[in-house]
Amino acid sequence: MLDANEGPTETQFEFITFSAGNQSFCLEIMQIREIRRWTPVTKLPHTPDDVLGVMNLRGAVIPIFDLSARFGLGVTPDNERNVVIVAAANGTTIGLLVESVSEILSVAKSSIQETPDMKSDAARQAILGVISVGDSMVRVVNLDAVLDQEGGAAA
Amino acid sequence: MSRNSIRDTFFEECEELLEALVEGLSSMEQDPDDMDVVNAVFRAVHSIKGGAGAFALDRLVSFAHTFETVMDKVRSQELKVTEPLMHLFHRSGDQLADLVEAARDEREPNAESEAAILKELDGYLGEADKDESFSFDAVTLDFGAAPVEIAEDGDADGEEAALRSFHIRFKPSPALYANGHEPLLLFDALAELGELRATADLSGLPEFDAFDPNGAVLAWTLRLETSEPETVLHEIFEFVESLCELDIREHDGLKPSPLAPPPDLPGLAPPPAPLDFDEPAAASDAAELRADAQRGEARGPRPTLRVDLERVDRLINTVGELIINQAMISQRIEELELPAVAHLTNELEAYKLLARDIQEGVMAIRAQPVKPLFQRMSRIVREAAEATGKKARLVTVGDSTEVDKTVIERLADPLTHMVRNAVDHGLEKSDVRAAAGKEAIGTIRLSASHRSGSVFIEIGDDGAGLNRARILEKAIEKGLVLPEAELSESEIDNLLFLPGFSTASEVSNLSGRGVGMDVVKNAVAALGGRVSIASSPGAGTTFTIVLPLTLAVMDGFVISVADQTMVIPIASIIETIRPSQRDLHAVGTKGVVILVRGAYVPVVDVAFNLGLASARKEAGEGVLLLVSTESQGLTALRVEAIHDQRQVVIKSLESNYAAIPGVSAATILGDGKIALILDPEEVVKLQPAAPYFPAITPPKLELHHA
């Protein structure tokens, strides 16, 4: 994983980049289980707006989040290219609705920069770092933070 | 079989033996003169000792040895079973369990209590017993016909009884070794009874290149001089009798004739004269063995199979998928709208029944009686009574009730907590009880039963009952209730379940661990169950836990709520009502009640409560489901329609998300879509909360193990 105090090894990390709320993000490829077309989900009562509902993934019930809404970037508009990225961390599997998936990015650890200081704490927590690609910036999504903010009392 | 798996097997067997021990001790309390029970207890301790010896668990061995020596004195009727002795036996059993657990987890056992109990046990032993040198040296078996002579140091017991001579012919089958038994340990046990001479019969040894290391070719002829009756010898072989050829005969002047002479190995003492085992005898042995086996079936425990739980769970999941798949196929065929094909319908129906049968069969594999769980509670009662200086006994009812294994495991903590509470908060001290004209010893009653598709577990005490005034005072003090609130008795009782509520006026070392009944409630709720309280002043308090039978499937109605398909458990529905306008009455501006057989029942709009409908529909539309809730009694739930009744596979929402209020779980329908399973109790509660019940987010507490 992305550990700030690892040795100066130049291992290559692979990321899948995608766009959500007109910004580009990426997730480490090891955390991604699959990428699916959007299919209608079952809504859940009394849940925040970024929780779209639950979907059947080969017999398991997984929640689908609107990543853009989760990061406060507005609801993802309906679009032919919308996809659900199924990701897993710490034994929990979730789906993230994003606008579109772009490419696979392979970078050395050293080219992942710290998140610039920003006022919004929520945004900072959700992002592990940034990678500059050409003249654009890709934000590395902190999946744990996405999972943690689920709210609800886990009994 | 690796050493580790043998070790695991040993500890599994220990669990069973400890259970048998606890059970035996409670029977002993009822009837101390029942020698069968005393023997069973002795055997359990003895078997643990034997197994522990094989793993060189010296501490466990020596404790078990002292324990069994005292037990043996009871067996030989030298010791009378008194109340203090019985109490000591109970504590010794607890200590033995602790030692086994410590050995299993490779941690240090509680040395303090061990020393104290050993000292007490020693107090019951005469000098002669203590001098008995006791060691468990591992002996290496040579591949030779050397007679192993094991003589015992002077055992003062039973020297006067006439010595009898037994001949034992013992030939293990490969299964005996595969199950982790060791002939040497059996011989050691025999040697404890008297003078033993053992001769190995190597005639079965094949040529070296034909040697099968998994086979069993050795047999032994043993000669034992002992004053014990033959039954004791059989007891030693009890666990292996089905795994070997065994013949025990008392030698009464029978002319021993040689059996196949062992190979003449130089430098060995001549073997003792072996017994004659000629053909006819062997035939009659076989007949006897068969008869034994038949008798065994009638009285012994039924044969069981140990299976890795993961395998069963995989099977359960697959069967769940099968049920879903069956529902999908049925639905697809229906959609085809084929011309009437009776045989296809029949076969589909058969498929459905088969799938259900498989499912029920698999579920039954996981079901276990609650007995071991209940038995564990007797220790909790004892310890809690000791810690609080009260007198308490445990009575269990219906401990053969079977419940899903996971439920049993996850119930252990809340149940422990509640039993402790029952002793700590429920029962009064003996003098107070006596003053109230009650029996000095308090009774904690645990009962389990199946009722209407649920498991009911009750934890009752015959103590003073809940002190409602004190509870209310406390709740007001803690700001949980407004001072001017008017609460009913059951509402006051339910305050106990609020987080951070503890009523013990003096914090004993049992309570005050910052764990309240709210944690119990959450633990039970996580199992899909509910807890309720019934209490009457002076007569005691009973907590009732209601749990679903299995965690994996349930029968439900498929319903529509705000255009969404949902499922509601059939078990919770009393009846369905098509409301007619005349029976509906508005109450105030928002409330609606319906007249059901002369009683007014509140109507709850499910869609509205789930936040799926912005406005209530006309109460007269749709269907009403009459349910009985704990929070507000009979309630009619309004849904749009009921489509179908079917068995659904329960899928947890919490494994990947969190608990959703009003929803207990989810299921997958025939078309692969997810439908939410409603919890009527919670749906009803989603109404605007009463003022005295502030919104409290349940703290993330874990049950502490004391």
Pairwise CA distance, residues A143 & B383, whole Å: 47
Is B671 an interface residue toward A (CB < 8 Å)? no
Counting residues of chain B whose pLDDT is more than 90, the rounded percentage is: 4
Query: Does the beta-carbon distance from A59 to B320 stay under 8 Å?
Result: yes
Most confident listed range (A143-152, B54-63, B315-324, B331-340): B54-63
Nearest CA distance, B12 vs chain A (angstrom): 29
- pLDDT of residue A76 exceeding 70: yes
Mean pLDDT (chain A) is 82
What value does the mean pLDDT take over residues A92-100? 92
pLDDT of residue B79: 83
User: Which of B324, B522, B686 shows the shortest C-beta gap to A155?
Assistant: B522
What value does the mean pLDDT take over residues B103-128? 82
The string of pLDDT tens digits covering residues B219-270 is 888 888 887 777 777 888 877 877 888 888 877 544 444 444 444 444 444 4
The phi and psi torsions of B652 (rounded to 5 degrees) equal: -75, 140
pLDDT of residue B410: 85
What value does the mean pLDDT take over residues B175-179? 80
Query: Does the beta-carbon distance from B672 to A60 stay under 8 Å?
Result: no
Nearest CA distance, B105 vs chain A (angstrom): 26
Query: In chain A, whose CA is at the least distance from the CA of B669?
Result: A56
pLDDT bucket at B619, cuts 50 / 70 / 90 = low
Least confident of A30-39, A138-147, B322-331: B322-331
Nearest CA distance, B362 vs chain A (angstrom): 18
The string of pLDDT tens digits covering residues B668-705 is 887 778 899 998 888 888 864 332 222 333 333 334 44
CB count, 10 Å around CB of B299?
6
What value does the mean pLDDT take over residues A95-117? 87
Structure-model confidence comparison of residues B80 and A10, the more confident one: B80
Least confident of A60-74, B54-68, B115-129, B134-148: B134-148
Query: Does the beta-carbon distance from B651 to A151 stay under 8 Å?
Result: no
Query: Does the beta-carbon distance from A153 to B658 stay under 8 Å?
Result: yes
Q: Is there a contact between B418 and B368 (Cβ–Cβ < 8 Å)?
A: no
Q: Which of residues 82-121 of A touch B (CB under 8 A)?
A: 92-94
Is B656 an interface residue toward A (CB < 8 Å)? yes
Query: In chain A, whose CA is at the least distance from the CA of B654?
Result: A154
User: Which of B523, B672, B700 shows the shortest C-beta gap to A154?
Assistant: B700
B622 backbone φψ class: left, alpha, beta (φ>0; ψ -120 to 50): left
- pLDDT of residue A153 exceeding 80: no
Query: Does the beta-carbon distance from A59 to B321 stay under 8 Å?
Result: yes
pLDDT bucket at B130, cuts 50 / 70 / 90 = low
Is A42 an interface residue toward B (CB < 8 Å)? yes
pTM of the model: 0.48
Partnered with residue B168 across adjacent β-strands are: B222, B248
What value does the mean pLDDT take over residues B330-349? 80
- pLDDT of residue B375 exceeding 50: yes
Nearest CA distance, B121 vs chain A (angstrom): 45
Q: Which residues contact B356 (CB under 8 A, 6 or more apart)?
A: B323, B647
User: Which of A46, A55, A153 shows the shortest C-beta gap to B674?
Assistant: A55
User: Which of A43, A62, A93 shows the shortest C-beta gap to B564?
Assistant: A43
Which two structure tokens, joined as six digits, stand for B383?
Answer: 């310890």
Chain A CB contacts of B660 below 8 Å: 44-47, 152
Is A63 an interface residue toward B (CB < 8 Å)? yes
pLDDT bucket at A3, cuts 50 / 70 / 90 = low
The string of pLDDT tens digits covering residues B522-573 is 778 767 677 888 888 888 899 999 887 666 667 789 999 888 899 998 877 8
pLDDT of residue B701: 38
Pairwise CA distance, residues B385 & B26, whole Å: 17
Is A61 an interface residue toward B (CB < 8 Å)? yes
Q: Is there a contact between B15 and B376 (Cβ–Cβ < 8 Å)?
A: no
Mean pLDDT (chain B) is 76
Is B562 an interface residue toward A (CB < 8 Å)? no
What value does the mean pLDDT take over residues B516-523? 76
- pLDDT of residue B512 exceeding 70: no
Which two structure tokens, joined as six digits, stand for A48?
Answer: 């925040």
